[in-house]
Structure 1
Amino acid sequence: MYISRVKIDLDNRKNLRDLSHLGCYHGWIEDSFPEERGKENRSRKLWRIDSIHDEYYLLVLSEKKPEESILEKYAIKGSLETKDYDPFLEKLKEGMRAKFRIKLNTVKSLADRSQGRKRGRLVPVPLDELIPYFLSRAEKNGFHVDEDDLRIVAKSKELFEKQDQEDTRIKLDLVSTSYEGFLTITDLEKFKKALTQGIGKKKAYGFGLLTIIPCHG
């Protein structure tokens, strides 16, 4: 696998117009793998926008190397970095402690049996439930986080647009919560799956990419 990072050029007004919602970013990333164009089954890509000192970076985890010229389409030229992710994965061990960051589409299913539905409707997770919401998902994905080592660094709604079968444009607000903290790997197999396949919903649209920096010493 490969992990890539590029600095987005948001001083360019055209870029601001072209990247007006999450679906635009999704299209940009998919276009960066031209060998998959037209294929029904495309490889999985996880991605996230990170803000660092008022500058914005696109982070992409992919099975194949992206086409550099396309992934730099809306970026500062020469800012793209792509690294082989497999050697990093091979160094991970159970018991290892690491700093992490992740952005999740924080929704939950609310049971609604009044109309005979088998599945409940999705609603935003209330503010006072966001910490336990994350902690419960951590254990399922092979890592443990102490509540004192977890913090919410951002919470917002992000615009996503799509066209339905009748070509009607639909606008959706996707709730977003970004978490940072320190974790301990408890199940290596589950943890590697979480790193490479993502956590939660809407992974194609910028959610669920877990990144870590191992602690040393």
Structure 2
Amino acid sequence: MFLSRVEKANNNRQQIKSLTHLGAYHDWVEQSFPEEMKQGERLRHLWRLDQIAGREYLLILSQNKPDLQALSRYGVPGTAMTKAYDQFLNQLQPDELMRFRLTANPSYAVSHTGEKRGRVYPHVTVEQQRKWLIQRADKAGFKLVSQALSDATDQDDLAFDIVNREHPVLHRKSGRGVRLSRVTFEGLLQIQDLTVFKQTLINGLGREKAFGMGLMTVIPER
């Protein structure tokens, strides 16, 4: 696995003029792996946009290394980089405390009469979105903890926050655009099931992974 990033060239409007919807970002990510496209491979690339110190970065987790020149298509020259991720994954330990960042699509499905697949609806309130993450933590191999590093009795006591909420546009093949709920969480977690947790990091959490949601990254809490 490889973790890559590039700073988006927000100061060059001409360069990024086509980045107006999620599909364009998805295409940017896919085009960054020309060998996979040449061979007709459809590997999953988890990605998200990060805001750091007033700058915006595209972050990608992938099985193969991206082509840094292609990754720089909408990026600031010289900022594209990639590093091996497997060594980091192999250093993780059960019960380890980690600071995490997750951009996700908190949503739920409702099955209506006569429908084979349930319709998907977004969670819209902060309380609903926080509860969505809390409910998925155990099956994802971790638990959310309090600042006091003890079991919290109320979701408000848990050491994580929603730091960004937005509704980017996704253009469907039908031509109609839909707005997706994109939420970024940051906080503190403790690894419970190491094997499952690694799979969460590799495979993502929640829906709309192809469109910049689902990628969780962690760093050790010191």
**How far apart in 2 are the matches of 1:137 and 1:119?**
21
The Cα of 1:101 is off from its aligned counterpart by: 0.5
What residue is the counterpart of 1:26 in the other structure?
Answer: 26
What residue is the counterpart of 1:195 in the other structure?
Answer: 201
Deviations, residues 182-204 of structure 1 (Å, cap 9, x unaligned): 00000011100000111111101
What residue is the counterpart of 2:169 in the other structure?
Answer: 159
The Cα of 1:16 is off from its aligned counterpart by: 3.5
The Cα of 1:39 is off from its aligned counterpart by: 4.4
Aligned pair 1:134/2:140, yes or no?
Answer: no
Question: Between Structure 1 and Structure 2, how many residues are aligned?
Answer: 210
Q: What do you get for the CA RMSD once the two structures are aligned?
A: 1.3
CA contact (8 A) 2:68 2:81 kept: no
The amino acid of 2:219's aligned partner reads I
The amino acid of 1:35's aligned partner reads E
- Quickly say closer, same or farther: Cα 1:19–1:126, change in 2 above 3 A: closer
What residue is the counterpart of 1:209 in the other structure?
Answer: 215
The amino acid of 2:197's aligned partner reads F
Q: Which runs of 5+ in 2 are unaligned?
A: 146-154
**How far apart in 2 are the matches of 1:162 and 1:36?**
24
TM-score, with length taken from structure 2: 0.90
The Cα of 1:40 is off from its aligned counterpart by: 4.4
What residue is the counterpart of 1:123 in the other structure?
Answer: 121
5 Å-filtered alignment, 1:96-111, equals: 96-111=96-111
SS at match of 2:180: strand
The amino acid of 1:124's aligned partner reads P
TM-score, with length taken from structure 1: 0.92
**How far apart in 2 are the matches of 1:14 and 1:86?**
37
**How far apart in 1 are the matches of 2:78 and 2:40?**
32
The Cα of 1:44 is off from its aligned counterpart by: 1.4
What residue is the counterpart of 2:69 in the other structure?
Answer: 69
- Quickly say closer, same or farther: Cα 1:72–1:16, change in 2 above 3 A: closer
Deviations, residues 117-159 of structure 1 (Å, cap 9, x unaligned): 2433111114131111111111110000034211111111111
Aligned pair 1:177/2:187, yes or no?
Answer: no
**How far apart in 1 are the matches of 2:177 and 2:17?**
16
**How far apart in 2 are the matches of 1:77 and 1:126?**
38
4+ residue segments displaced more than 3 Å? 38-41
Aligned pair 1:84/2:90, yes or no?
Answer: no
